[in-house]
Amino acid sequence: MKRTKVVDLLKDPALIGTEVEAKGWVRTRRGNKHVQFVQLNDGSTIKNIQIVFDMAKFSDEELKPVTTGSSLCVKGILVESQGKGQTCEVQAESLLVYGTADVEAYPLQKKGHTLEFLREIAHLRPRTNTFGAVLRVRSTLAFAIHKFFNERGFQYLHTPLITASDCEGAGAMFQVTTLDLNNLPKDEAGKTDYSQDFFGKPTALTVSGQLEGELGATALGQIYTFGPTFRAENSNTPRHLSEFWMIEPEMAFYDITDNMDLAEEFVKYCINYALDHSLDDIMFLQEMYDKDLVDRLKFVVENDFVRLSYGEGVKILEESGKKFEFPVHWGTDLQSEHERYLVEEHFKKPVILTDYPKEIKAFYMKQNEDGKTVRAMDVLFPHIGEIIGGSEREENYDKLLARIEELGIPMKDMWWYLDTRRFGTVPHSGFGLGFERLVLFVTGMTNIRDVIPFPRTPGKAEF
Ligand code: 4AD
Ligand code: MG
């Protein structure tokens, strides 16, 4: 006989009255000397299947290892449930215990552990209802992303994780080396001799696949990347990870307006897809953590995002009369508190801010005629702040080169990127969506460490 997943046991009426085989991990067990009830979960759904043990057929000894966390194979008849809270249950006929879980040692014995505690046992937390739900939503969203781009003719481009260029120019990179750190080879000037390193030059983990993405877009037309990115910033916030996943579409012949249209359509599609395919999990998270979750998701999907310039946004903030921790005026980078004021208090809608001062944005963004601003676009979300950052790209060779020189970016690293502007340059645009920030929004969780299986943050690289 073949095992049936719990999700199918619970929804396939044709199985009622037949013999089935259920496998999974015990969530709880209760009962009396006549009958024992076990809640079994196999991760296929937030719901458990109830296994009923008629104690006339089983001995106490046989059921002794059936404790929270133990793993079982149960054969029996699937019947409509007499009790409340479930539609059907398995009346056990045979039991095999794959693995026991010592009651004293297994840390997920009791319910109601704090999220902070669960972070300390991230190797086991996927077995909780909360993390089961979050990880299923995460997986659903990942699939939605591929589906969205695939349906629109985008090619999935794999960009390198090891790189010699700093895309965002922020210098927050993790170095990759095989040199002996206790015995570094030196050149004549006394500096580390990277010619002896594995790649013959300094390399690091990528902060973004965009630059290579542009190479792809100016050949394949429209591409997207979806992979891990690494930032060595010392940002200990509920919205920053040192290792996070980013989706970066890049499109030839798109201007900033096309870019905004795509970004808006894209996030709405993903949220809708999650509502359609992960509603059980989202409803669970709503009940546990965030009473307004579904309303908020629907609101974002159903309403147009507000679009305005950075300058207009700053004006609203200055005139708001609100005391911000970080004062704001034209030229300052916006902090999360400013972004959230615009979104949550002023417009009460997602906002796309454009045309930021060039000083606070990356070198590759297209310069506006005013000489002061660039064609950047940040998508700002309730509860999250910045969820997407993107821009139209500077396609003019001379302007791009001038900006690179102005910022002192080493040219020898950028020759291949500049070639896109030397040979058949075209207007093009793209953006990056922080995957965990999207998962954060859709799950209603409040800390980014709780929406990635094994978070990496300053001082933490456990598991
Ligand atoms: O705004 P960022 O830095 O933009 C880029 O990297 C561009 N190359 C994207 C592009 O145009 N192709 O990052 C993009 C998004 C942010 O809006 C945010 O959602 C997320 O990535 N992000 C982070 N998420 C988690 N932890 C961090 N440390 C993040 N840094 C950025
Ligand atoms: Mg950004």
User: Nearest Cα to 348, choosing from 306, 295, 294?
Assistant: 306
Q: What is the pLDDT of residue 384?
A: 94
Residue of minimum CA distance from atom 28 in ligand 1 = 240
C-alpha torsion angle, residues 303, 259, 165, 206 (rounded to 10): 40
Residue of minimum CA distance from atom 22 in ligand 1 = 434
Q: What is the pLDDT of residue 46?
A: 97
**Arithmetic mean of pLDDT, 116-136:** 97
Helix (H) or strand (E) holding 225: strand 222-230
Cα separation, 109 vs 136, in Å, equals 22
Pick the atom of ligand 1 nearest to 231's CA: 28
Taking the centre of ligand 1 as the mean of its atom positions, its distance from the CA of residue 432, in whole angstroms, is 6
437 lines ligand 1 (CB under 6 A): yes
* Contact by Cβ (8 Å): 39, 48: yes
Amino acid symbol at 279: L
Residue 186 has pLDDT above 70, yes or no: yes
* Helices of type H across 83-232: 115-120, 129-151, 210-220
Three-state DSSP at 242 gives coil
Residue of minimum CA distance from atom 15 in ligand 1 = 434
Residue 5 has pLDDT above 90, yes or no: yes
434 lines ligand 1 (CB under 6 A): yes
Tell me the average pLDDT of the chain: 96
Least distant ligand from the CA of 393: 1
User: Which residue among 394, 435, 437 is best mutated to probe the pocket of ligand 1, counting the most ligand atoms within 8 A of its Cβ?
Assistant: 437
Taking the centre of ligand 1 as the mean of its atom positions, its distance from the CA of residue 437, in whole angstroms, is 10
Amino acid symbol at 441: F
Residue 413 has pLDDT above 90, yes or no: no
Residue 97 has pLDDT above 70, yes or no: yes
366 lines ligand 1 (CB under 6 A): no
Q: What are the φ/ψ torsions at residue 235 (nearest 5 degrees)? A: -105, 100
At 123, the pLDDT band (50, 70, 90 cuts) reads: very high
At 108, the pLDDT band (50, 70, 90 cuts) reads: very high
241 lines ligand 1 (CB under 6 A): yes
Pick the atom of ligand 1 nearest to 391's CA: 11
* Contact by Cβ (8 Å): 217, 252: yes
Residue 1 has pLDDT above 70, yes or no: no
**Arithmetic mean of pLDDT, 425-437:** 98
Non-local (6+) Cβ contacts of 316 within 8 A are 342, 346
Q: What is the pLDDT of residue 110?
A: 75
Residue 226 has pLDDT above 90, yes or no: yes
230 lines ligand 1 (CB under 6 A): no
* Helices of type H across 254-375: 256-277, 279-289, 293-302, 310-319, 336-340
Helix (H) or strand (E) holding 302: helix 293-302
Residue of minimum CA distance from atom 21 in ligand 1 = 434
> How much of the chain is in helix, strand and coil states, percent to nearest 5?
35, 25, 40
167 lines ligand 1 (CB under 6 A): yes
Q: Find the length of the chain.
A: 463
Cα separation, 282 vs 205, in Å, equals 34
386 lines ligand 1 (CB under 6 A): yes
Predicted confidence (pLDDT) per residue in 393-405, tens digit: 999 999 999 999 9
- Name 392's bridge partners: 429
Q: Please give the C-alpha separations between residue 366 and each of 95, 370, 397, 446, in angstroms, as whole numbers.
A: 66, 12, 11, 34
User: Which residue among 163, 246, 354 is best mutated to probe the pocket of ligand 1, counting the most ligand atoms within 8 A of its Cβ?
Assistant: 246
Q: What is the pLDDT of residue 165?
A: 86
User: Which residue among 244, 365, 392 is best mutated to probe the pocket of ligand 1, counting the most ligand atoms within 8 A of its Cβ?
Assistant: 244
248 lines ligand 1 (CB under 6 A): yes
* Tokens, residue 380: 């700002």
Pick the atom of ligand 1 nearest to 387's CA: 19
Pick the atom of ligand 1 nearest to 241's CA: 26
Residue of minimum CA distance from atom 14 in ligand 1 = 432
Residue percentage of the chain with pLDDT more than 70: 99
* Contact by Cβ (8 Å): 375, 354: yes
Lowest mean pLDDT across 64-73, 165-174, 179-188, 360-369: 165-174
Cα separation, 300 vs 272, in Å, equals 10
430 lines ligand 1 (CB under 6 A): yes
pTM assigned to the model: 0.97
432 lines ligand 1 (CB under 6 A): yes
At 412, the pLDDT band (50, 70, 90 cuts) reads: confident
Predicted confidence (pLDDT) per residue in 288-335, tens digit: 999 999 999 999 999 999 999 999 999 999 999 999 999 999 999 999
At 87, the pLDDT band (50, 70, 90 cuts) reads: confident
Taking the centre of ligand 2 as the mean of its atom positions, its distance from the CA of residue 185, in whole angstroms, is 37
* Contact by Cβ (8 Å): 82, 119: no
User: Nearest Cα to 162, choosing from 180, 175, 149?
Assistant: 175
